[in-house]
Amino acid sequence: MKKIVAIYPGSFDPPTNGHLDLIARGSEIFDELIVAILRNPEKSPLFSVGERRNMLEQLTTDYKNVSVDTFDGLTVDYAAKVNAGAVLRGIRALSDYEYELQMALMNRKLRPQLETVFMMPAEQYSYLSSRLVREVARLGGAVDGLVPEMVEQRLREKLDPAVKLQHARKSKAGK
């Protein structure tokens, strides 16, 4: 039987529980799922592509059919390169729909054989976005339950360098 490879493209800055929920769902229906982080030189991200890749790799180790990669250029070209037949995207609220529809139809125009598959994350994540997580974390709000613990820790380290120093000291003292 034909194996279906799907890509899940995005910025993942940072990965949220909503992303992980979608990865779990996608890994159930596709034979192979590649989480593809866009290397976007126009954006100035909070986490570097390397940092995001590292976090996503650690967060998806339990899924044997999920891998993490980075790409630049068109999503459709990357999909062709890895022989993907589908693009997975999450739709939360109605407000996502217009942008996602435009993107899906443009991708279809560019590569008709590539199907976009939309999935809904669990409803408790329907308001969640990386942008809001960055903003809340930057302003000192709690993001527990919205991102995995490891991401929460990395956010703390990123936004408060003193936390990183504390950790380095602790692990040095523990040696």
Number of residues that bind ligand PNS (CB under 6 A): 9
Active-site residue, from 11, 39, 67, 92: 92
Question: Considering the rule CB under 6 A, would residue 29 count as an interface residue with ligand PNS?
Answer: no
Residues 73-92 that bind ligand PNS (CB under 6 A): 74-75
Question: Considering the rule CB under 6 A, would residue 60 count as an interface residue with ligand PNS?
Answer: no
Question: Considering the rule CB under 6 A, would residue 9 count as an interface residue with ligand PNS?
Answer: yes
- Is 39 a residue of the active site? no
Can you say how many angstroms the Cα of residue 153 is from the centroid of all Cα atoms in its chain? 17
- Is 158 a residue of the active site? no
Query: What DSSP line would sit under the chain, residue for residue?
Result: -PPPEEEEEE--SS--HHHHHHHHHHHHHSSEEEEEEE--TTS--SS-HHHHHHHHHHHTTT-TTEEEEEE-S-HHHHHHHTT--EEEEE--SHHHHHHHHHHHHHHHHH-TTPEEEEEPPPGGGTT--HHHHHHHHHTT---BTTB-HHHHHHHHHHH-HHHHHHHHHHHHHT-
- Is 131 a residue of the active site? no
**Selected binder of ligand PNS within 8, 10, 52, 154 (CB under 6 A):** 10
Question: Which of residues 27 and 75 has its CB atom nearest to ligand PNS in the complex?
Answer: 75
From residue 93 to residue 112, the character string flagging contacts with ligand PNS as x (rule: CB under 6 A) and all else as - is ----------x--xx-----
- Is 53 a residue of the active site? no
The tokens for 69 are 């990669």
Minimum Å distance from CB 89 to ligand PNS?
7
Active-site residue, from 27, 89, 130, 154: 130
**What amino acid positions are annotated as catalytic residues?**
19, 43, 92, 130
